[in-house]
C-alpha cells in the first residue's frame, strides 16, 4: 500500500483464514440528530401542519415530533443546507444547499429541493446549474396558494429568480445587489410583489412576465441601519422591518414611480439588533433581540404588551415560531431550541455545541456519550432520552483548557468524575497540542499522544485519582494521530502524521518494538487506527492519506465504521483486508466539513458521529428489518480499497507484510466514573473492572 508515494509496510497475521469480500449485513440508518444550526442562519425553524418542528443542521433536515420526541429526516442534500421555506399548505417544504465537492473532487452544484414532509419524497428539484456558491434565501408565494418560489443565491450579484413550483421552470431572473441579502418574501396579498432586505437596503420588487423591477426603500429622516435582518407583513398589509439599530420600522406606503417607500413609524424595540419578527394568529407581533436576548410581544399598533429575557447560556434570539395555543418556539444563536410561553418562560428541547465538535467518547456500559469541541464545552448526552444530561465549561483560572491551539506552557489534560463533574487529576506534557488519549483495558495506564511526536504514559492508582508519569514512547517522526491498546494492556499500536505504524512495549518500559513482524498476531482491545492490515481495504485508490479521518471497530468485531473527508460515514465488513473490497454500506451525508470521530455505542448497536456543530446517531439496522426513524432508503457509495504491497521480511518463512491495527476499548466503568479530556478535545472514559451506572443500563436495540 502506498500513500503519497510512501510504502506502508504491513504483516499478515499467521493462520489467517479466507477473508470475506461481501458487504456487511448491517445498514446505516440515521436515528437521531443532536443540535440545531442557529448561530449563522435565519428563518430556519417552522411548525408543520402535522405539528412537527422542521429545522436543519449540516446536510440533514430534521422533523421533530413533540412531545413524543421522535425524529424523521430528509436526507437528499449532499452538502450543507442553508435555508428553508414552508409552503402555505404547511405540508410541502423547500430547502436549499451550498455548493461543495464530491469524493472525486468534482463540484457539487447548489440546488433547491421541494419535498413532501409526510412521505419525505422529493417532488421537484429547482435550479441545478443556475445558482452559484449556494442558496441564501427562499420564499413561497402565498396569494396563489404557493404556485411560485423565489430564490436568492450567494453569488456576488445575489441573483434573484422566480420558479414555477409544479414545473420546475424559471419564470424570471435578475441581479439583485452586490451587498448581502438576508431574507426575501412575497407580499401575502399580491404574488407580483416581492420584498428583499439585507445589508443597508430594503428592495421592493415588481414581477411582470419575465421581468423583475426593483425600487429602493427610502429611509428619509430616519437613520439608515447597517443591516435589515428580518421583516414581516402585519394584518393590514404594512411591512415591518427589524434592523441592526434595534428598531422596528413600519413601511406604510408602497413605493411609487419615484421609487420611494414611506416609513410611517419607528419603534424602539431592542438593545442591539432585531434578529426575528413573527406575526401571531391573533395579530400581535413578536420580536427577538440579539444583544438583550429578549422576546417582546407587541399589539398590532406596536404597543409593548409583554417581555421575557432568555438565559445567557442559550444566547440571543435567532428565530421565533408559533406553536399550538400560547406556546412559542425560539431558536437561539447558541444553537438551542426553546419551548415555552411569555408567562412561564422557556426550557430547552434541543441543544448543541456552538463551535466545531472534535471529541467523542461512548460510555462502556450505558447509553451515554461525551462530546467536546472548540467552544470549550464538555457535554454528556443521554442516548435514550436524546437530551443533554449536563455540560461543563472547561476553564481553569479563566484560561480555557480545551482547544486545538497551543500555549507557551503546553496544553493540559484533565481527568473528571462524570458523576460529580469534579476535577480528579490533570497534567501538562510538552508544548504542543495533545491529539489522542486512551486508557488501557484494565484502567491501570493512560496513554496520551501529542503533536510533539511522543506518547506519554501514566500509571493510574487510587481509584483513578492519582496519575504518575510512567514513561514516554519515543520514536515517531511526526505527530501522533491514533493509538490503541492490546487486549492484555501491555502493548500499544500507534499511527502518525507521516503514516507510520509503530508498536510499543509499555509494560517493558515504553520500548519501541523494532521487529514489527512479532506484533502481527497481537489482539487489540479496539480498533481506531486508520492504518492497519485489518482495515487497509477501506482506503480508496489514489488516496493522498487524508481521505480517511477516523474509524472505529464495533464491540462484536464484525464491522468497522469509517469517517471520510467528504462528509460521509461508511460501514465495512471487519476485517476489511482485501484490495478492491468494492463498496462500503451507507454513504450517509452527515456533517459539513470533516467527519472526525465515529464511535460505536453500547453493545456495538448504535454508532455515533461527531462533526460540525452537531452529533448524529446513525443506528445499525439489519437488512430486511424495520428502518429506524422513518428515513428514506440509504444511498450506497462504492469505495475501492488500495492494493497492498506484499514483501518477504528478512527472516524466513512465507511471511507477508501488512499494516498495523488499532482501536479504543470501552470496558466496564466503576464509580467515580473518571474520564480524561485532552487539550485537543478527545474525551475518553476510563475502563475498570466491574460496576455499572445505576441510572442507565441494558442495551440499545439494533
**Long-range contacts (CB closer than 8 Å, 24 or more residues apart) made by 392-399:** 392/416, 392/421, 394/677
**pLDDT above 80: residue 701:** no
Same fold, 2-26+354-636 and 36-216: yes
* Predicted pLDDT of residue 547: 85
* Predicted pLDDT of residue 429: 86
Mean pLDDT of 227-247: 94
**pLDDT above 90: residue 254:** no
Q: What is the pLDDT of residues 618-657, one digit of tens each?
A: 443 322 222 222 222 222 222 223 333 333 333 333 332 2
* Predicted pLDDT of residue 619: 42
Q: Name the band, by pLDDT with cuts 50, 70 and 90, for residue 401.
A: very low
Fold adopted by 36-216: Methylamine Dehydrogenase; Chain H (2.130.10)
* Predicted pLDDT of residue 403: 32
**Beta-sheet strand order (sheet of 228-233):** 228-233, 239-243, 247-251, 263-268
* Predicted pLDDT of residue 65: 95
| Grid cell of 415 as nine digits | 481527568
From first CA to last CA, the distance across the chain in angstroms is 35
Which candidate, 355, 265, 341, 259, places its Cα nearest to that of 307?
341
| Grid cell of 14 as nine digits | 499467521
* Predicted pLDDT of residue 691: 35
Q: Which CATH architecture has domain 2-26+354-636?
A: 7 Propeller (2.130)
Q: Name the band, by pLDDT with cuts 50, 70 and 90, for residue 260.
A: low
**What is the distance between the alpha carbons of residues 534 and 658, in angstroms, rounded to a whole number?**
9
**What is the distance between the alpha carbons of residues 493 and 523, in angstroms, rounded to a whole number?**
11
pLDDT-above-70 percentage for the chain = 78
Given a contact cutoff of 8 angstroms between Cβ atoms, the answer to whether 678 and 448 are in contact is yes
**What is the distance between the alpha carbons of residues 588 and 671, in angstroms, rounded to a whole number?**
36
Write the burial class of residue 690 (CB in 10 Å: 0-12 exposed, 13-18 middle, 19+ buried).
Answer: exposed
Classify the C-alpha dihedral 397-402-406-412 as positive or negative: positive
Task: Give 9 or 325, the one with higher predicted confidence.
Answer: 325
Which of 12-16, 571-575, 611-615 is most confident?
571-575
Which candidate, 544, 566, 700, places its Cα nearest to that of 637?
566
Longest pairwise C-alpha distance within the chain: 93
Q: What would the CATH number be for the domain defined by 229-334?
A: 2.130.10.10
Residue where the block lists cell 442562519: 41
**pLDDT above 90: residue 239:** yes
Three-state secondary structure call for residue 561: strand
CA count, 13 A, side-chain hemisphere, 610: 28
Instruction: Give the residues across from 170 on adjacent strands.
Output: 163
SS3 per residue for 454-479: CEEEEEEECCCCEEEEEEEECCCCCC
Which candidate, 503, 496, 556, 565, places its Cα nearest to that of 531?
496
* Predicted pLDDT of residue 256: 47
* Predicted pLDDT of residue 568: 82
**pLDDT above 80: residue 616:** no
Q: What is the pLDDT of residues 298-315, one digit of tens each?
A: 999 999 999 999 999 999
Within 8 A by CB and 6+ apart from 20, the residues are 573
* Predicted pLDDT of residue 400: 38
Q: Name the band, by pLDDT with cuts 50, 70 and 90, for residue 261.
A: low
**What is the distance between the alpha carbons of residues 346 and 337, in angstroms, rounded to a whole number?**
9
**pLDDT above 90: residue 72:** yes
Task: Give 23 or 650, the one with higher predicted confidence.
Answer: 23
| Structural domain boundaries in the chain | 2-26+354-636, 36-216, 229-334
**What is the distance between the alpha carbons of residues 563 and 181, in angstroms, rounded to a whole number?**
35
Cis preceding linkage at 446, omega within 30? no
Q: What is the pLDDT of residues 674-684, one digit of tens each?
A: 555 544 345 67
pLDDT-above-90 percentage for the chain = 56
**pLDDT above 50: residue 590:** no
Which candidate, 325, 352, 357, places its Cα nearest to that of 341?
325
Which candidate, 16, 29, 38, places its Cα nearest to that of 628?
29
Task: Give 59 or 691, the one with higher predicted confidence.
Answer: 59
Task: Give 615 or 453, the one with higher predicted confidence.
Answer: 453
**What is the distance between the alpha carbons of residues 122 and 105, in angstroms, rounded to a whole number?**
26
Mean of pLDDT over the chain: 81
* Predicted pLDDT of residue 9: 81
**Beta-sheet strands, E only, within 280-314:** 285-289, 294-298, 304-309
Instruction: Give the residues across from 204 on adjacent strands.
Output: 195, 215
Work out the number of other CB atoms within 10 angstroms of the CB of residue 508: 11
Phi-psi group of 246: left, alpha or beta (phi > 0 → left; psi -120 to 50 → alpha; rest → beta): left
| Grid cell of 263 as nine digits | 416609513
Which candidate, 474, 587, 484, places its Cα nearest to that of 530?
484
**What is the distance between the alpha carbons of residues 399 and 568, in angstroms, rounded to a whole number?**
35
**What is the distance between the alpha carbons of residues 249 and 243, in angstroms, rounded to a whole number?**
8
Give phi and psi for 536, each to the nearest 5: -65, -20
| Grid cell of 193 as nine digits | 410583489
**What is the distance between the alpha carbons of residues 348 and 467, in angstroms, rounded to a whole number?**
38
Given a contact cutoff of 8 angstroms between Cβ atoms, the answer to whether 337 and 53 are in contact is yes
Given a contact cutoff of 8 angstroms between Cβ atoms, the answer to whether 162 and 202 are in contact is no
Classify the C-alpha dihedral 267-270-275-281 as positive or negative: negative
* Predicted pLDDT of residue 601: 58
Mean pLDDT of 501-521: 92
Amino acid at each position: 500500500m502506498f500513500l503519497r508515494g510512501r510504502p506502508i509496510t504491513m504483516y499478515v497475521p499467521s493462520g489467517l483464514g479466507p477473508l470475506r469480500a461481501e458487504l456487511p449485513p448491517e445498514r446505516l440508518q440515521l436515528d437521531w440528530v443532536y443540535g440545531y444550526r442557529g448561530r449563522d442562519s435565519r428563518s430556519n425553524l417552522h411548525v408543520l401542519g402535522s405539528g412537527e418542528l422542521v429545522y436543519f443542521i449540516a446536510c440533514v433536515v430534521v422533523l421533530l415530533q413533540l412531545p413524543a420526541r421522535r425524529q424523521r429526516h430528509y436526507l437528499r442534500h449532499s452538502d450543507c443546507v442553508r435555508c428553508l421555506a414552508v409552503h402555505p399548505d404547511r405540508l410541502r417544504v423547500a430547502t436549499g444547499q451550498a455548493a461543495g465537492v464530491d469524493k472525486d473532487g468534482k463540484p457539487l452544484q447548489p440546488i433547491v429541493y421541494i419535498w413532501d414532509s409526510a412521505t419525505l419524497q422529493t417532488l421537484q428539484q429547482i435550479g441545478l446549474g443556475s445558482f452559484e456558491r449556494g442558496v441564501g434565501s427562499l420564499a413561497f408565494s402565498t396569494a396563489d396558494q404557493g404556485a411560485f418560489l423565489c430564490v436568492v443565491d450567494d453569488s456576488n450579484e445575489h441573483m434573484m429568480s422566480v420558479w414555477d413550483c409544479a414545473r420546475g421552470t424559471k419564470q424570471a431572473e435578475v441581479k439583485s445587489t452586490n451587498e448581502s441579502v438576508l431574507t426575501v418574501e412575497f407580499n401575502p396579498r399580491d404574488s407580483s410583489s416581492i420584498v428583499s432586505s439585507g445589508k443597508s437596503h430594503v428592495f421592493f420588487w415588481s414581477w411582470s412576465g419575465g421581468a423583475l423591477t426593483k425600487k429602493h426603500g427610502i429611509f428619509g429622516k430616519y437613520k439608515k441601519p447597517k443591516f435589515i435582518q428580518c421583516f414581516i407583513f402585519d394584518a393590514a398589509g404594512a411591512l415591518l422591518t427589524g434592523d441592526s439599530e434595534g428598531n422596528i420600522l413600519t413601511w406604510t406606503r408602497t413605493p411609487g414611480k419615484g421609487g420611494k417607500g414611506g416609513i410611517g413609524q419607528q419603534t424602539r424595540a431592542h438593545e442591539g439588533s432585531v434578529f426575528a419578527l413573527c406575526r401571531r394568529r391573533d395579530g400581535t407581533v413578536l420580536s427577538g433581540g440579539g444583544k438583550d436576548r429578549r422576546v417582546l410581544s407587541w399589539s398590532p399598533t406596536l404597543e409593548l404588551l409583554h417581555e421575557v429575557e432568555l438565559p445567557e447560556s442559550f444566547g440571543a434570539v435567532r428565530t421565533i415560531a408559533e406553536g399550538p395555543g400560547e406556546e412559542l418556539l425560539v431558536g437561539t444563536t447558541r444553537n438551542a431550541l426553546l419551548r415555552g410561553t411569555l408567562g412561564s418562560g422557556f426550557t430547552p428541547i434541543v441543544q448543541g455545541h456552538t463551535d466545531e465538535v472534535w471529541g467523542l467518547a461512548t460510555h462502556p456500559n450505558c447509553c451515554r456519550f461525551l462530546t467536546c469541541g472548540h467552544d470549550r464545552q464538555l457535554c454528556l448526552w443521554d442516548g435514550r432520552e436524546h437530551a443533554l444530561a449536563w455540560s461543563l465549561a472547561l476553564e481553569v483560572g479563566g484560561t480555557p483548557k480545551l482547544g486545538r491551539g497551543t500555549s507557551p506552557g503546553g496544553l493540559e489534560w484533565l481527568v473528571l468524575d462524570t458523576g460529580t463533574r469534579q476535577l480528579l487529576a490533570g497534567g501538562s506534557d510538552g508544548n504542543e497540542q495533545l491529539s489522542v488519549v486512551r486508557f488501557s483495558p484494565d484502567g491501570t495506564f493512560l496513554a496520551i499522544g501529542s503533536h510533539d511526536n511522543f506518547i506519554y504514559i501514566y500509571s493510574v492508582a487510587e481509584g483513578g485519582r492519582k496519575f504518575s508519569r510512567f514513561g514516554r514512547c519515543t520514536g515517531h517522526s511526526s505527530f501522533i494521530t491514533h493509538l490503541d491498546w492490546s487486549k492484555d494492556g501491555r502493548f500499544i499500536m500507534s499511527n502518525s502524521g507521516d503514516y507510520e505504524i509503530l508498536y510499543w512495549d509499555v509494560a517493558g518500559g515504553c520500548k519501541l518494538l523494532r521487529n514489527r513482524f512479532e506484533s502481527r498476531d497481537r489482539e487489540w482491545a479496539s480498533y481506531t487506527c486508520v492504518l492497519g492490515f485489518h482495515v487497509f481495504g477501506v482506503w480508496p485508490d489514489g488516496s493522498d492519506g487524508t481521505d480517511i479521518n477516523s474509524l472505529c471497530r464495533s464491540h462484536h468485531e464484525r464491522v468497522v465504521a469509517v469517517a471520510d473527508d467528504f462528509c460521509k460515514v461508511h460501514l465495512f465488513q471487519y476485517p476489511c483486508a482485501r484490495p478492491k473490497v468494492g463498496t462500503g454500506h451507507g454513504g450517509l451525508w452527515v456533517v459539513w466539513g470533516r467527519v472526525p470521530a465515529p464511535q460505536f455505542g453500547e453493545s456495538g448497536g448504535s454508532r455515533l458521529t461527531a462533526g460540525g456543530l452537531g452529533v448524529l446517531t446513525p443506528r445499525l439496522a439489519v437488512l430486511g428489518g424495520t428502518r429506524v426513524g422513518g428515513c428514506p432508503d440509504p444511498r450506497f457509495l462504492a469505495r475501492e480499497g488500495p492494493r497492498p504491497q506484499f514483501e518477504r521480511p528478512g527472516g524466513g518463512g512465507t511471511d507477508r507484510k501488512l499494516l498495523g491495527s488499532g482501536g479504543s476499548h470501552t470496558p466496564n466503568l466503576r464509580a467515580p466514573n473518571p474520564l480524561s479530556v485532552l487539550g485537543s478535545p478527545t474525551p475518553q472514559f476510563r475502563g475498570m473492572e466491574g460496576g455499572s451506572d445505576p441510572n442507565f443500563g441494558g442495551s440499545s436495540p439494533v
